Structure 1
Amino acid sequence: MVVSKKKSGWIKGDLIPGLPEELAMECLVRVPFQFHSSMKHVCRSWKCVISRPSFNKERISFGKAESLLCLVQPLTPIDDDGGGEMRSEKEEGSESQSQMMMIQQQPRVTGTPLYGLSVYNATLDTWHRVAIPERIPLFCECVAVQDAGKVLLIGGWDPETLQPVRDVFVLDFFAGEGSGRRWRRGKPMSAARSFFACASVVGSRKVYVAGGHDDQKNALRSAEVYDVEKDEWTTLPPMTEGRDECHGFSMLATDLGFCVLSGYGTETQGQFRSDGEIYDPVSNSWSVIENVWPFPDLSPRGRTATAESAGEFRGCRLWCFIDSERQSQPRWEIEDDSMKWKVVMETIRLPVTTMTSVFAGSLSGQAVAMIGGGGEESGTMMVKATTAEKNGGKWINVNTPSGFSSLPFSYSSIYV
């Protein structure tokens, strides 16, 4: 293939000999993500096109991007039949398998679970575990930055000392080999924290963190923002209240904000606040939003998830997952004290009543729940379409191999 110099962002030339560029691009975006690393070795034109962030946007616009759910969960033994994880690790190669063996053989504190990053490909209905060359912190927050094609693991506890850490791990899906194996350490946070609010800003490459607790279990007011491309942290004004075990969401608007939901103070552990706080990047200040979380005995973590919003909505739409026996309004709307932001909460009833624990979230516009505890549904994932046109709006089981059935601590989703 004759290739000329770069022009308009990529190397000009026939992507596929004999086909117009538009048709050739339509062919390339249809190739499954796991083969992208191999495609980069075909020719310089393909490597240049596939390596650009715009290629992922093309896959999304054509409806060919794959939806991945990334879960930080305790590792459990994998069945010998090679199901789930082993199918996908064959795609990652022997290097990935050797890394996993190295991690599993490392010494650890007795009784302390070993955490890993599991990935469920909702498009292909497959599972695999991403190999990481070092142990990730316990209870780290998982957040995806879609525009950058990256998934970050932030904060948590050191597996040896069980103390909060400042660590940041960055997984680059677009630059990695196939299912994503290129990891790097990002610049650490300015403060060690765990059980904090964390969210990426939609349409940008920034991640907010706020609250959580320090090594003395003191609830934190501090907040900061991370620029993924610059690898820089910027300190933000502190919140009005310390908030441990709070939950974070991105606020949609022209000027994107950050919502910290509920949490509790140092002296009131386990008593979750009914209010929240919203950071406005324009005024560089926080405003309080009252009466947004009506459950003083229930953590918003694993019980709230972002729902899709459309139009000129200024704020965030959330799903609130509740037990079938818990009484609640089906929907409520609250504005903050600045009257600029709004939070809309819609309740979703969880699928079973025999569970003792659950972790719920969202994936590709659908509700998703990992079920723990008693009952025959324990250790499985279930999804529910939020519109009646698909699956009748009913909960359905997802094939969950035993090695991936433990409840996650945090999650994020990304299209690749």
Structure 2
Amino acid sequence: MGVSKKKSGEIRGDLIPGLPEELAMECLVRVPFEFHSSMKSVCSSWRSLISDRSFNRERRSFGKAESLLCFVQPLNSPSPVNSPMMEGDVNEKKKEEEGESQTQQQQQQQQQPRVTGTPLYGLSVYNATRDTWHRVAIPERIPLFCECVAIQDAGKVLLIGGWDPETLQPVRDVFVLDFFAGEGSGRRWSRGKPMSAARSFFACAAVGSTKVYVAGGHDDQKNALRSAEVYDVEKDEWSILPPMAEGRDECHGFSTAKDFGFCVLSGYGTETQGQFRSDAEIYDPITNSWSIIENVWPFPDLSPRGRTAAAAESTGGFRGCKLWCFVDSERQSQPRWEIEDDSMKWKVAMETIRLPVTTMTSVFAGSLSGQAVAMIGGGGEESGTMMVKTTAEKNGGKWSHVNTPCSFSSLPFSYSSIFV
């Protein structure tokens, strides 16, 4: 049993009258997550049990936890059929339309990436276990292009940085969604302590059970940043890290296997926008320093964002990152490659996954529960559809289509996955 002795002493014999605690637990862990908030109202013992994070570990140990894919995406429709609009969205939409011309002028002056109007962004959730979609209600408008990262042990999803929806300036904001707290919907939003620097299009990854690392991106003048910092989700504190060797805008972040390191892949400098670097930098928390790994990213014309994802967890003594590299069916690439840094301590290993689309199609790819996932856009039969690749089968597995409602079909900017 994963429930603490303190908790078990409080709930023993009270979970389901007439059933042994072990059997009652086997029953309760099978209840779908959407009903957990209602279960808390049944009795004090159920409230105590479900509010404890060990209950989620029990669900995982029994194989009953649900796998969620959370992603930040522009809203296709002002009022999705299966989800109410966030409060205030109607008025804000009118303001956006009236201020569209002014917004475009500001973008040109600030040399920011071109955005048509000021779209609304939302947090969408695909429940892969139950094959359902929904959009999480948020008390305020989230920043455009914010990074989405999950802390599994804490049961939290964070939205970090991005652009202010009205000024289109980078922000320091941190929004925290706690899946295991709160009443009503069973979910609760709060504001975390802001980053020390405003940034967008930066590398971000959860490392260990409580830490989130960020590095690079760009500031309000579109300067590529070298700065890095780390957030402790339990303490709600940011700590400054040594800067990277190079400024990296539009870089991608990953946690390393073992040693709680942080890898920042590719990106480009201030004077070389759109020319993606071939190297990566890895932060070592033991030495509090960065090291460079050369010749990791072979595509100078292609962003690693939405084209790379963490592969299945590494075993043995591998130290570094094992990543999937998603390539179009027409792009030439090695099936796999592995590069070490000069110290021979860190490695980045890439395995190619072929997408069933051409280079003319826009794609956002990632991973979910050990499987590759991809959202397809830009025309064709697969447009607006999410696909899942089963990796356990022979010959590299196969792609299968996921039913994607129209209101959830736009390509996401960032994503994370969590078990609940």
Give the counterpart letter for 1:56 in structure 2: N
Where structure 2 has 5 or more consecutive residues not aligned to the other structure, the ranges are 101-116
Deviates more, 1:345-354 or 1:326-335: 345-354
Q: Return the alpha-carbon distance in structure 2 between the equivalents of residues 286 and 354 of structure 1.
A: 34
Q: Return the alpha-carbon distance in structure 2 between the equivalents of residues 307 and 7 of structure 1.
A: 36
Give the counterpart letter for 1:280 in structure 2: D
Whether the 8 Å CA contact 2:224–2:269 is kept in 1: the answer is yes
1:19 corresponds to which residue?
Answer: 19
Q: Deviations over 1:311-352 (max 9, x none)?
A: 222212100000111111000011122221111100000122
Q: Return the alpha-carbon distance in structure 2 between the equivalents of residues 398 and 308 of structure 1.
A: 21
Runs of 4+ aligned residues of structure 1 deviating over 3 Å after TM superposition are 176-181
1:3 corresponds to which residue?
Answer: none
Residue 267 to residue 62, structure 1, CA distance change in 2 (3 Å): same
1:94 corresponds to which residue?
Answer: none
The root-mean-square deviation of aligned C-alpha atoms, in Å, is 1.8
2:307 matched to 1:303?
Answer: yes
2:256 matched to 1:251?
Answer: yes
Give the counterpart letter for 1:247 in structure 2: H
Instruction: Give 1:263 deviation, angstroms.
Output: 0.4
Give the counterpart letter for 2:128 in structure 1: A
2:37 corresponds to which residue?
Answer: 37
Q: 1:315 aligns with which of 309, 315, 320?
A: 320
Instruction: Give 1:104 deviation, angstroms.
Output: 3.8
Q: 2:91 aligns with which of 105, 110, 114?
A: 105
How do 1:324-343 and structure 2 match up within 5 A? 324-343=329-348
SS of alignment partner, residue 100 of structure 1: coil
Instruction: Give 1:79 deviation, angstroms.
Output: 8.2
2:237 matched to 1:232?
Answer: yes
SS of alignment partner, residue 8 of structure 1: helix
1:92 corresponds to which residue?
Answer: none
Q: Return the alpha-carbon distance in structure 2 between the equivalents of residues 197 and 7 of structure 1.
A: 40
Q: Return the alpha-carbon distance in structure 2 between the equivalents of residues 344 and 374 of structure 1.
A: 32
SS of alignment partner, residue 23 of structure 1: helix
2:382 corresponds to which residue?
Answer: 377
Q: Return the alpha-carbon distance in structure 1 between the equivalents of residues 19 and 78 of structure 2.
A: 46
Give the counterpart letter for 1:349 in structure 2: R
2:188 corresponds to which residue?
Answer: 182
How many residues matched?
394
TM-score scaled by length of structure 2: 0.90
2:267 matched to 1:263?
Answer: yes
Deviates more, 1:174-183 or 1:297-306: 174-183
- Residue identity over aligned pairs, in percent, reads 81
Q: Deviations over 1:366-413 (max 9, x none)?
A: 111110101111111111011106x98211111000000000000000
Q: Deviations over 1:39-74 (max 9, x none)?
A: 111111111111111111111111100000011000
Q: Deviations over 1:137-157 (max 9, x none)?
A: 000000000010000000000
How do 1:4-403 and structure 2 match up within 5 A? 8-10=6-8, 11-14=10-13, 15-77=15-77, 82=81, 86=82, 89=83, 97=84, 100-106=86-92, 107-108=95-96, 109-110=99-100, 111-177=117-183, 181-202=187-208, 204-253=209-258, 255-312=259-316, 313-353=318-358, 355-388=360-393, 393-403=397-407
Instruction: Give 1:16 deviation, angstroms.
Output: 1.1
Instruction: Give 1:112 deviation, angstroms.
Output: 1.3
Instruction: Give 1:356 deviation, angstroms.
Output: 2.4
